[in-house]
Amino acid sequence: MIWNETKECMSRDELASLQSARLVKVVNKVYHNVEYYRKKMQELGLEPGDIKGIEDIEKLPFTTYEDLNKTYPFGLAAVPTSELVRVHASSGTTGKPKIGVYTRRDIEVWSECVARCLSMAGITRDDIIQVGYGYGLFTGGLGAHYGAEYLGALVLPMSTGNTQKLLDMMIDCKATAIACTPSYLLHVAEDIEKLGVLDKIKLKTAICGAEPWTDEMRDQMEKRLNIKAHDIYGLTEICGPGVACDCEYHKGLHIWEDHFLPEIIDPATHKDLPAGSDGELVITNLTKEGMPLIRYRTKDLTSLEIDKCECGRTMARIQRFKGRTDDMLIIRGVNVFPSQVEAALLNIDGTTPHYMLVVDRVDNTDTLEVQVEIAEKFFTDEVRGLEKLSNEIHNKLKSAIGLNAKVKLVEPNGLVHSDGKTKHVIDKRKLYS
């Protein structure tokens, strides 16, 4: 179902002129209101008047995580704090979290984008939807929640962490839709099978995202739960979930180009690539008021298709993600950088910088084991001492990355020490296939 046909199905020419007008406006806005952008443009000898439309996009500077880090938290805000109503964040590398800030209007636009996605997945105001993304600084919970309410569906704000409660409510309230990470949904499917309650479940639709997944995973969840599953994409810096979503034809995720101007660049040369080419997705916020980003390098690798889709929508489609240009891992929907683990370990007496992250998927749930070499002088046969160290590592990692990791202490020199690039991650999940 199409939420707003005028917007989602406008001709590419109409779209280009809308995008051009919005680009000119947002460039003027950041030039005049954000000192950091003004300086960046001045360094390139650029004035707002040089940008006349989307054909000039390549003249503009990129925005990167490093820019966010330097200006953390509100240095890129384009309005005074009195106009901001919400902050979201997700982990950065060793630096500060990646921040998104929103005005009241931004929340409304974001909610509409999510409503378009839910509608694309066939969800209507008659549906009862469980939001199983985390609520809090992560954009998943509140983003899906506000979008579903905007659509008029009945929302069960479940958040994460209690599958039994989720199942009880799913059955009692006859939930017809669920929004959560794809790996969590498969985990839920397993519990449903174990408990033998499939006949009590009324689910018809799932809207899954926040981590990469495959068509094979979609097939599995559709067959096991007898539902239709859709893929939803987004990122904190740009707005959150609802930047793009796939329709019933599953030929890529329609990106809401009236709000988010996409480009695919060659990550090495930084040049724009034509439709169909693989490269890094770059997004410009065309309508965000709080903290509009210009040419934000997402580090997500994909390609764009722009031909009209059978569903009638004209908005370009992001193809399956092929990975990232950095070493970010997504574990149970949480973004984790090996450098965060390293920084946490280096703050603990008794550990060394020799570590390995082993990521796997067991019963459709991501698992993380952190193997850490202990310093020679701390290596002891005393079980209590080792247990204490292991607990300290577990707790410090939990507060650094927000995940419970299994900690395995390794004797000195027990891990491979490379004299070249050290490998710190073994990811056993078969993704991007």
Could you list the residues that contact ligand DLL (CB under 6 A)? 90, 133, 139-140, 209-212, 231-236, 240-241, 298, 300, 321, 324, 330, 335
- Provide φ and ψ at 427, rounded to 5°: -105, 105
Residue 344 CB, shortest distance to ligand DLL, in Å, is 19
Residue 121 CB, shortest distance to ligand DLL, in Å, is 12
Residue 332 CB, shortest distance to ligand DLL, in Å, is 12
Which CB, 59 or 324, lies closer to ligand DLL? 324
DSSP state of 34: -
Which CB, 90 or 340, lies closer to ligand DLL? 90
- Provide φ and ψ at 369, rounded to 5°: -115, 130
Question: Looking at beta carbons, which residue is closest to ligand DLL?
Answer: 209
Q: Rg of the chain's alpha carbons, rounded to an integer?
A: 23
Which CB, 227 or 245, lies closer to ligand DLL? 245
Cα 49 to Cα 71: distance, rounded to the nearest angstrom = 25
Which CB, 71 or 181, lies closer to ligand DLL? 181
DSSP 3-state of 407: strand
Cα 230 to Cα 174: distance, rounded to the nearest angstrom = 20
Which CB, 103 or 236, lies closer to ligand DLL? 236
Cα 103 to Cα 151: distance, rounded to the nearest angstrom = 20
Q: Contact, 110 vs 242, CB < 8 A? A: yes
Residue 398 CB, shortest distance to ligand DLL, in Å, is 18
Cα 355 to Cα 290: distance, rounded to the nearest angstrom = 40
Which CB, 183 or 298, lies closer to ligand DLL? 298
Residue 160 CB, shortest distance to ligand DLL, in Å, is 11
Residue 162 CB, shortest distance to ligand DLL, in Å, is 19
Sequence length of the chain is 433
Strand partners for 229? 206
The helix (H) or strand (E) run that includes residue 371 is strand 365-374
